[in-house]
Chains A and B, each alone.
Chain A
Amino acid sequence: MATQLLMAKSPSEAMGLKTADAAFLAGGTEVNRLGSEAAAGAETLISLKRCSGMDHIEKDGDNLRIGAMCTFQKLVESDIVPAYMKEAAHFMASRTKRNMATVGGNIAALRSDSYLLPTLFAVCARLEVLTREGQENICVNSFMEEALSGKEMLITEVIVPLGIKAVSKRYANTAQSHAVLTMSAAVTEKGITMAAAVKNSGIYRFRKLEEALRSGEDMSEDDMIAFFRGAEGLSISDDMFGSVEYKRYLLGVTAYDLSRKLADSGKGV
């Protein structure tokens, strides 16, 4: 447990306070959660709750800028947040938790049962992050790669596209349980995109599948199931959330369902 709490007043101050044995503290539903690994070993916590200008929701052309300290509940209640983001925020079933959990915190936790990451991957969201070198605008999967490699970054904004169609599906034992699988699909300007969070495995974009679908390949449900049964790069294992076979089967069925949903919505696949 940390022994020091620092209250940053701005993102730059927070970044300036960041040391190797410190961790950022956003809503607290991960970092302060007993047994959480989100800030394991951190001696110092840098709270972002007093940082000004980090909980806004603003339109910016065809995009929406969401402050990293925006809570899940604020997303749900906003009139301008797209339906796909509200759907993802609603995956967090506890209202009290939604009052606390923040968009930036959930992304930064990099959990394999993340509520938001599959959707953000699928819609090709971008992040404004503060690094030692200054402000950067990066795509969400780059953030993930760099964060995993140990680069110190503070998410300040999440930028999601408006006017696109995206759908998601989450599977969990109960609504409050960690998800075994959350999958999202979207129709972006490049065509269909598909991503999933697989518990204890990771967050994935399925580019081969996307390419097949973009090329007009008519994939049946069985094709989708077969694709995921044989998909390479998916390091899924048997665990208490389910067997490998179950998870791969579910990926296939869900990919089919989501692609059909998008097709039925008239945006075309």
Chain B
Amino acid sequence: MISCIINGKKRSFDIEPTRRLRDMLLMNGNFAVRDSDDAEGFCGSDTVLLDGTPVFSNLVLAGEVEGCEIRTPDSLGNSMNLTVVQQALVDAGVVQSAYNAPAAALLMTWLFENNPSPTREEVKDVLSGIFIRDAGYEHYYLAAELIKEKLAGGEYKTEIAPEFRPNLRAVGKVMPKIDAPQLVSGERAFVEDYVDDDTCYMVVLRSPYACAYVNKIDTSKAEALPGVVKIITAYNCPDVTYMSAGQGNPEPSPHDRKLLNKKVRHVGDRVAAVIAETLEEAIRARDLIEVEYEPLGAVFTVEEAMAEGAPLVHNGIVEYRAGAPDDLEEYNSKAGDEREGKVVYQFPLHGDIRHNIAAANHGFIGDVDKAFAEADAVVEATYQTSQIQHTPLETHICFSKLENGRLIIYASTQVPYHVRRIVSWVTGLSENKIHVIKTRVGGGYGSKQDILVEDLTAYATFATGRPVLYHNTREEEFIANSTRHPMRVHVKMGGKKDGSITGIYLKVDANTGPYGNHALTVPMNSCSKTLPLFKCDNMKYDLTIYYTNTPPAGAYQGYGTPKGTYGLMMAMCELADKLGVDYKEMVLKNHVEEGYMLEILKGLGEGREGNVVPVGSCGLREAVEKGCEMIEWGKREESDDPDWKIGKGFAMIMQGSGLPGLDHANAICKLEMDGSIIVTSGAADIGTGLDTIIAKVTSDILCIPIDKITVISGDTDSGAFDTGSYASSGTFFSGNAAVVAASNLRKKIIEEAAYQSCEDAEDFELEWPGKVVSRKTGKVLTFYEIIHTSTSGTGRGHLIAPGSFTTAASSVPYGAHFAQVAVNVRTGEIKVQKFYAIQDAGTPINPEAALCQMYGASLKSIGHTLYEDMILDKDGRCVNANMTDYGVPMISEQPDDFKAVLIDVNDDHGPFGAKSISEIACNGAAPAIGNAIHDACGVWMRSWPMTPEKLLRELGKIK
């Protein structure tokens, strides 16, 4: 028995002393003490105070805390009564996906209890043990200032963020994200918080081979263990071919995987799933499964995949749902045996699996060869990018159970409706028998746009009738999830002495890994979200996506755009250098402006013909000018130390706001009995504040305070269809659906008020707060009075309004990212001294959250540029599948001078003029830093991550 004091109360536990302190705290109900790194002592999700000192509770044994005093994050305020520290974190906008928000609040509380006026360095020090991937750290410094001010004078003095649209009460205003109190206080929010006591655990046996047939699986010893419920293998699971990408149906991705395959295609691929009554029993059983593999040759790079005679990742039959080629029968006559499975294209994607090609696309405008011939200078270079993991703090998790013949799935997902569809395919259940509940999502960044764990977990419940929990280990996040596609981006660019670009050729070879989820769409973004930056009549692209045996790739914030931007903006800087033209002048001469017709988009429609549209609202030029002014473009900085050279660089960037013609969103707005509002939305808020956006637009349209609005989202039973949160669609599509629904409800409320008043609807208007006023008679009816009458025994019914949004219009966010770096030319060390993210997001509906997302995505992309790289050994095994060795940026890596600036542009199509904000912020760091390195020391870094060793090689210091 171990006794200690937890949050001021004496507690005793019957627990093995060698169990971890966190296990004991979970027994006590302190579930906000979370685990992101399997006890690596890295992420800090498990932080508690032990006798007044912050420690990682996973690195303390239960037996060591006998008689100690422990304080956990949930000891602070609750969601209805936040402490000053918690409130400041909420107000500063850092509580986003928030898996670590309770731990951060505890650390900041500890800091201020011991030091009421901490310096920036002291804030940095206390946060040095906590990993924040979503919002970065900059607004934690702001939160510290707010706390200081509140504690000293009772109110904030520092501006949190600029505000926009003074005519509106909610949109564009600094206002707490509506789920932030729940998240910062550590209340139930994530999948793991909703797991029933009688739940079984599932673990997955994974392939040790990069490519092999699974000839035989003997599960008899494992099944004999007590507590084992079922073991699922390729030999007893449904023969359904699908794929994991959560995309609109029919998907522009080949269907090429099953629940479990007879051919494993990467180290970490699924071989068997064990369901047992305890996690320990499941792991023990997994270790007893005997598998007979037949190892096969493997390919790990696009160069290996494209080589003549290369081992084939997929060599089964190919089917097409539509548009099958005439020679398909002949093509399939060369297929391998049945263990290969099959590849099913929904429509042609120019794939050729007999050459490891999953998909391809080609297109052009004008005549690039002529353009290059006419150019005064041409540059040509190849840029290589690494395989990068999303590293969400909440690793992939799913809990499923049966209720009255229905599958109930608690999912941490960006795409609840696609989860439902794919589970329906796998189980054969109709969609009305499946209820997906999207909980709060502890970080997605694209990885939760893939259905990576929900399919198997839900099937396990379907097959056993038991509630089942599956939770990825951190290692599984690296080896068995999705990652950023490694790409080889070849750019040829020609220009005139006056700085005008005559032609651009972009050749992208992408590595999709063993499966084709997002195979086309992610690499396509390397063209479709980059080439339209240029006012150039001659452009051509060739895009080929190869299957390999690396850990799988998939959607990642920015899709392929960061890589295309890296190649193009570096090449443009090289061209400017070669022509002797100032890079800034070249950018200003060649960027698109409002009204420019984007002919290049014709071939870039995600597998279909794209929409050729003119450039809409565009703050690109302003962003470039603003950033150049801030960083003092053209001014050479000198270091006191001759070893350190300083340089500056920047890149213009763009993204999209959802997929016009493909995405679809719905919302339903309901006037409740007391005049308050409930909005049910199909949207999936993944921590970015989408629910708050829906609440804010509803508030401004219905003239009702935001605390009278509740948003229920991501629940497939209560909401209506939404394609999901990806491709920067949330604000634009789901936000616009809420605008339509609220506008429809507004119309209904006015019509009902007119009916109840025997007046004309045209004479009524809404007034703050929550009332309808007749301009003609001055009659006032509150929402309460209207709904009370309309739902009476003689009323006309509940006032409910649906809203649906689709569009062919594009609302493109633009921006420019700037870096000042210092490079040590003797050691190769690179420091980002300054980083400025300047972006046009249309109307920033949540300005403080928008800034945090810009900081978070920028820091993440600084990480991609300088540190992050999944390293595979010769057998395809990832040798750095943990947080410490992988190398994510934390507070120590954040630039000292880090600024995010919003350019005020009002878009014609977005909700209240809004465009997307976060994803675009992943696009600028690599070329900005790469160009700055060149400015500093004269070398072009054509491979990310730009490591000291690579730099030394470029400098000729080592071979």
Chain A positions within 8 Å of B, measured between CB atoms, are 1-5, 7, 25, 27-29, 32-35, 45, 47, 49, 93-97, 99-100, 171, 173-178, 221, 240, 242-243, 245-246, 249-250, 253-254, 257
Contacts and interface: CB of A to CB of B under 8 A. Distances in A.
Contact of B17 (A1, A5, A35, A177): A5
Given A28-B59, A95-B54, A176 B890 contact: yes
Given A99-B54, A174-B888, A47 B64 contact: yes
B55 interface: yes
B18 A34 contact: no
A230 to B, nearest CB: 15
Contacts of B128: 93-96, 175
B705 interface: no
Interface stretch (B26-34, B300-308, B876-884): B876-884
A257 to B, nearest CB: 8
B54 A249 contact: no
A174 B890 contact: yes
Interface string B11-30: 00000111010000000000
B63 A35 contact: no
Contact of B63 (A7, A93, A171, A173): A7
Interface stretch (B37-45, B554-562, B595-603, B724-732): B37-45
A34 B60 contact: no
A25 B37 CA distance: 21
B959 interface: yes
A14 to B, nearest CB: 14
Given A33-B59, A99-B55, A240 B871 contact: yes
A5 B18 contact: yes
Interface string B96-138: 0000000000010000000000000000011111100000000
B329 interface: no
A142 B66 CA distance: 36
B867 A246 contact: no
Contacts of A2: 18
A249 B957 contact: yes
Nearest to B947: A173
Given A32-B20, A47-B61, A99-B53, A175 B890 contact: yes
23 contacts: A3-B18, A4-B18, A5-B64, A7-B63, A32-B20, A32-B39, A32-B61, A95-B128, A96-B47, A96-B56, A97-B41, A173-B887, A173-B947, A174-B888, A175-B128, A178-B885, A221-B826, A240-B880, A243-B958, A245-B959, A246-B958, A250-B827, A257-B826
Nearest to A73: B53
A174 B829 CA distance: 11
Given A49-B64, A174-B887, A240-B871, A97 B18 contact: no
Contacts of B880: 240
Nearest to B883: A176
B59 A176 contact: no
A106 B289 CA distance: 38
B958 A34 contact: no
B882 A35 contact: yes
A95 B40 CA distance: 15
Contact of A249 (B107, B883, B952): B952
A176 B885 CA distance: 9
Question: Would you list the 4 A-B pairs with minimal beta carbon distance, nearest first?
Answer: A96-B129, A175-B892, A94-B129, A5-B17
A4 B17 CA distance: 7
B867 A174 contact: yes
A222 to B, nearest CB: 11
B40 A177 contact: no
B886 to A, nearest CB: 8
A97 B959 contact: no
Nearest to A173: B887
Contacts of A1: 18
A254 B283 CA distance: 47
A171 B827 CA distance: 9
Interface residues of B, number: 54
Given A47-B61, A95-B125, A177 B884 contact: yes
B61 A253 contact: no
A145 B887 CA distance: 32
B949 interface: yes
Nearest to A94: B129
Contact of B59 (A5, A100, A174): A100
Nearest to B882: A35
A32 B59 contact: yes
Given A34-B40, A245-B959, A240 B885 contact: yes
Nearest to A27: B59
A29 B41 contact: yes
A34 B39 CA distance: 5
B952 A32 contact: no
B63 A33 contact: no
B548 interface: no
Contacts of B66: 7
B61 A5 contact: yes
A246 B951 CA distance: 11
Contacts of A175: 128, 890, 892-893
Contact of B889 (A32, A49, A100, A174): A174
Contacts of A27: 59
B958 A245 contact: yes
B660 interface: no
A32 B128 CA distance: 20
Interface in B45-88: 47, 53-56, 58-61, 63-64, 66
B465 interface: no
A33 B41 contact: yes
B248 interface: no
Contact of A34 (B38, B63, B889, B949): B38
Contacts of B238: none
B827 A254 contact: yes
A91 B880 CA distance: 21
Interface string B320-338: 0000000000000000000
Contacts of B959: 245
B827 A28 contact: no
Given A32-B59, A34-B38, A96 B130 contact: yes
B208 interface: no
Contacts of A173: 867, 887, 947
A97 B56 contact: yes
A95 to B, nearest CB: 5
A28 B53 CA distance: 15
Nearest to A32: B59
Contacts of B889: 174
Nearest to A76: B125
B39 A176 contact: no
A253 B826 contact: yes
A25 B887 CA distance: 27
Contact of A176 (B20, B42, B958): B42
Nearest to B887: A173
A152 to B, nearest CB: 21
A177 B64 contact: no
Contacts of B47: 96
Contacts of B827: 171, 250, 253-254
B746 to A, nearest CB: 51
Nearest to A28: B59
Given A95-B126, A96-B54, A243-B949, A45 B887 contact: no
B129 A177 contact: no
Contacts of A254: 827
A253 B126 CA distance: 33
Nearest to A25: B61
A96 B63 CA distance: 20
B948 interface: yes
B49 to A, nearest CB: 10
Contacts of A178: 884-885
B2 to A, nearest CB: 10
A27 to B, nearest CB: 8
Contacts of A93: 128, 890, 892
Contacts of B126: 95
Given A47-B63, A176-B42, 19 more contacts: A25-B61, A28-B61, A32-B60, A33-B41, A45-B18, A47-B61, A47-B64, A93-B890, A95-B129, A96-B128, A100-B41, A174-B888, A174-B890, A174-B892, A175-B128, A176-B890, A177-B887, A243-B958, A250-B827
